[in-house]
């Protein structure tokens, strides 16, 4: 009896019930229910993001590796020899790729109309001829291969073997043939101004770090085949 009285003396608070029935609470409940799914979803998304970043970095690395490993020899890129059936003779001793013949002849004609006389010095060169040029001149001039490569491509590495390259001189100043001084001729100035119209481009300009400047050496980029041939070279520049 005494004990009961004691208990009654305590003021026991009524349990306060909070009903989770307002809108915030419903949201909370839903979140609790879906939290494992949300966690799963975000984990997957994060993993995928990380993987993409890693893949991106990897392909970037591969791209860089490809760029630095482009099969150059002494600064020259390799070129395949043009199939014989694609070669045409445009004048005695000058053969070129059939794709560039019309453009090349048109360019010479237009120059003539402007009073400029272009002369074609060298077009297609076979690998055998390139071999002779590279090795015989090397021994004559007593140059190391690397020195020689600054002025002539090793066989298999010449733009001339593609049929898309042409060496051009000024008919009125033949002493400048294959010489840097060719850049001071009217023919060269005319080419700098007009060659692009005929899809010709200077291959080895003053910025080329491997090969000496060759103002006389032009290449044709007016066909898909030609563009493919020079794709690596253009990517580098
Ligand atoms: Zn050349």
User: If you measure from the C-alpha of residue 203 to the centroid of ligand 1, how many angstroms do you get, rounded to a whole number?
Assistant: 9
pLDDT, one tens digit for every residue, the chain (237 residues): 445 555 555 565 555 555 555 667 777 777 677 777 777 777 777 777 766 655 555 555 444 444 445 688 888 999 999 999 999 999 999 999 999 999 999 999 999 999 999 999 999 999 888 888 888 765 556 678 888 788 788 889 999 999 999 999 999 999 999 999 999 999 999 999 999 999 999 999 998 888 889 999 999 999 999 999 999 988 865
User: If you measure from the C-alpha of residue 125 to the centroid of ligand 1, how many angstroms do you get, rounded to a whole number?
Assistant: 9
Which residue range(s) make up the domain with 29? 1-69
Residue 76 lies in a domain: no
Identify the CATH number of the domain in which residue 111 sits. 3.30.1380.10
CA distance 31 to 202: 68
Same domain membership, residue 99 and residue 58: no
User: If you measure from the C-alpha of residue 123 to the centroid of ligand 1, how many angstroms do you get, rounded to a whole number?
Assistant: 8
User: If you measure from the C-alpha of residue 178 to the centroid of ligand 1, how many angstroms do you get, rounded to a whole number?
Assistant: 8
User: If you measure from the C-alpha of residue 175 to the centroid of ligand 1, how many angstroms do you get, rounded to a whole number?
Assistant: 17
Split into its structural domains, the chain has a count of: 2
Same domain membership, residue 128 and residue 159: yes
Is 0.85 topped by the overall pTM? no
Same domain membership, residue 92 and residue 18: no
User: If you measure from the C-alpha of residue 217 to the centroid of ligand 1, how many angstroms do you get, rounded to a whole number?
Assistant: 4
Residue 64 lies in a domain: yes
Last residue within a domain, chosen from 44, 69, 94: 69
Residue 178 lies in a domain: yes
Same domain membership, residue 155 and residue 51: no
| Residue pair 182/214 in contact by the 8 Å Cβ criterion | no
User: If you measure from the C-alpha of residue 187 to the centroid of ligand 1, how many angstroms do you get, rounded to a whole number?
Assistant: 16
């Amino acid at each position: 009896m005494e004990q009961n009285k004691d208990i009654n003396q305590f003021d026991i608070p009524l349990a306060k019930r909070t009903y989770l029935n307002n809108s915030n609470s419903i949201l909370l409940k839903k979140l609790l229910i879906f939290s494992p799914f949300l966690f799963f979803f975000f984990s997957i998304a994060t993993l995928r993001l990380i993987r993409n970043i890693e893949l991106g970095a990897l392909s970037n690395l591969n791209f860089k590796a490809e760029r630095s490993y482009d099969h150059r020899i002494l600064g020259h890129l390799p070129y395949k020899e043009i199939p014989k059936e694609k070669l045409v003779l445009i004048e005695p001793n000058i053969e070129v790729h059939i794709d560039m013949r019309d453009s090349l002849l048109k360019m010479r004609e237009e120059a003539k109309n402007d009073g400029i006389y272009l002369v074609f010095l060298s077009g297609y060169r076979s690998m055998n001829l390139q071999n002779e040029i590279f090795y015989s001149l090397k021994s004559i001039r007593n140059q190391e291969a690397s020195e020689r490569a600054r002025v002539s491509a090793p066989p298999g590495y010449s733009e001339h073997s593609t049929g898309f390259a042409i060496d051009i001189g000024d008919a009125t100043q033949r002493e400048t043939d294959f010489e840097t001084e060719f850049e001071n001729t009217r023919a060269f100035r005319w080419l700098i101004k007009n060659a692009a119209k005929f899809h010709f481009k200077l291959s080895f300009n003053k910025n080329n770090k491997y090969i000496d400047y060759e103002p006389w050496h032009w290449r044709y980029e007016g066909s898909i085949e030609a563009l493919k041939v020079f794709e690596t070279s253009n990517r580098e520049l």
